Structure 1
């Protein structure tokens, strides 16, 4: 049990983990309050939710790639913890980062008078599932690229504005229902659409979790064989 706790907290104990995340959230929130007029305060949580997804993308992209860029990969991957344990430590930090963002988002909702207690568990669940799937995907990309910028760009292209615009355009076209159903079942489409709406359906959850598990297994397999 002690070893499990050490693995879970290994990454979050790094200097600046919570500090940088909280500073980012507070700065963005302050900017939103400054640019929004009094009557528009109620839309701040919705905007913040979208920005949080980008903040999490940056956190996930940076987590593993920083080890390669800082030349600390040999130290962490050849230390007392196995490579698989290090990967699970990274994933644990992603989930914790998402939960911190969730708490901040809910507090912001209370401040803006948009808090809905009935959506609390749904929101928490969507934060965790989103972090799990996007986080494992970024881990997989990171073990191949070892470059923060490239990992972030790939994650952005496949999960955010560009791909969503293309997929929504395809859904609005005259394509067959079978093709549209395939599009609606893609994790690249489900991730942010479900996150922004405050929850995932059962089918969407299964797809997201299964894809996340597949990404994680693939990332662990690659890092296990990677010459470090």
Structure 2
């Protein structure tokens, strides 16, 4: 089920803050890059920014020539494979269940050529596993949670450095939620400035 969310700026910074939202692949051994899934800019005090957190994903494969396969809808528990067609092109197909119901597996079943596996959510890039060689599998496992914080060093759709990730350390669990407000408080100029805080309010249970 899609989750309806609404960012609400109750901070003391006016519209100066850039708010970054992303997800983490909990399978850290897969070394998948975390990407700035959404960056909210110029949202003034008491203003709102609605968005959707969809239930599933879209998957696309890109190669060293910056070519992308068509995006294929996917969900946890599925395995997708990149295969070669009789005409010599490449195609992404559903090929069975994943290794676990909580993960999404993408196999490079080509005879040659490493590829990058791109995960999209609500049309925006959310995660990337780079250099997946033939016979290798990219495994993604995302908890229903968002990481959120304030920074000016990231661009939507671009990877987040480990240094920036350490500063964006608020986790908001979306388990059992149908809709909610994400309320930002804190901030402000000078000595009276306080740390930013993010909390879920007006929660409607699923």
What is the TM-score when the length of structure 2 is the normalising length?
0.30
Higher helix share: 1
Higher strand share: 2
What is the TM-score when the length of structure 1 is the normalising length?
0.28
